[in-house]
Amino acid sequence: MRDPLVELHNFGRDPYQVQPTSPRQWIARIGSGTQYPGVTSEQLSILQDRRYLPSGRHDYPRPNELVSSNEAYQSLRDFLSNSATDSEDRAHDRLENAWNMNHATPDLFIKIFNDLNELLFDNQLYNRVFLTWEDLPDELLGRTGSRSDCTCCPADRIQIQLDRAMFYEESKSKIWGTLVHEMLHAYMFVVTDHESAHGRDFERACRALGAALGFRGLRGDDIFHEEDD
């Protein structure tokens, strides 16, 4: 376990992070924490509710046809190379404003999820992911699980967990990069129904996602970081 005194000592090396003053700041709610205009109270409730069943179905939500990993990566690259819609442009503007904020609390990274999903993953993760901040094992910044290896959430959800200590200890770019990294794993679970390895295709996808965001200071390496997942 990490020494909490070390966590407090290291906190604030990046002035972007604001230390949570209440456990509630690890949970995203409209009207509290860091404000973000691109999400509704209902969307936040679904995103953080492990009991929610997408579309009323009690089975793992999949596209009509599953594809191979190679096909999934190609489909993602094709989507990212398309011209953005007006809705995607608005999502990008909101995300860029959040990236340029001087300060943020942990709830922001739940609030930006749906805009990242629309801009980067063609909404494939909408209502399919349960997102939380957790105390993860040392050196693990985040993890993603499907029904086959995650017993803490229903069969029809994919859970993304972000490490609370990461928020204290890592840079803004690493926190954003870790969220997108785990979303890529979730995307692969949805469209292929199996976990994606950190191979060359995964690395290329991470770099393509970073390029699609185009934020100054956020690199493909911040999203890939193979050793941390």
**Per-position DSSP letters for the chain, written without gaps between them:** ---HHHHHHHTTSSTTB---SSGGGGS--TTSSS--TT--HHHHHHHT-TT--GGG--S----SS---HHHHHHHHHHHHHSPPPHHHHHHHHHHHHHHT-S-B-TTHHHHTHHHHHHHHHTTTTTTTEEEEEE-PPTT--EEEE-TTT-TTS-TT-EEEEEEHHHHHHS-HHHHHHHHHHHHHHHHHHHHHSSPPPSSHHHHHHHHHHHHHH--TT--HHHHH-GGG-
Higher pLDDT, residue 98 or 156: 98
pLDDT tens by residue, 104-139: 999 999 999 999 999 999 999 998 899 999 999 988
| pTM, rounded to two decimals | 0.86
Kindly tell me if the per-residue pLDDT of 44 is higher than 70: yes
What pLDDT band is residue 8 in, cutting at 50, 70 and 90? very low
Residues 3-10 have a mean pLDDT of: 33
Rounded CA gap, 99 and 8, in Å?
Answer: 24
User: How much is the mean pLDDT over the chain?
Assistant: 83
pLDDT at 21: 64
Average pLDDT over residues 88-115: 96
For residue 229, count CB atoms less than 10 angstroms from its CB and return exposed for 0-12, middle for 13-18, buried for 19 or more. middle
Average pLDDT (154-173) is: 86
The whole-angstrom separation of Cα 134 and Cα 13 is: 21
Give the pLDDT score at 4. Answer: 33
- Average pLDDT for 97-105: 93
More confident residue, 191 or 149: 191
Q: How many domains does the chain have?
A: 1
Lowest-confidence pick of 24-33, 77-86, 191-200: 191-200
pLDDT for the residue numbered 62? 57
Q: Mean pLDDT throughout 182-187?
A: 94
Res 222: pLDDT: 92
CA distance linking residue 149 with residue 142, whole number of Å: 15
* Percent residues over pLDDT 90 in the chain: 58
Q: By percentage, how much of the chain surpasses pLDDT 70?
A: 79
> Which pLDDT belongs to residue 11?
40
In the predicted model, is pLDDT for residue 22 greater than 90?
no
Mean pLDDT computed over 173-199: 89
For 208, the domain range is 4-228
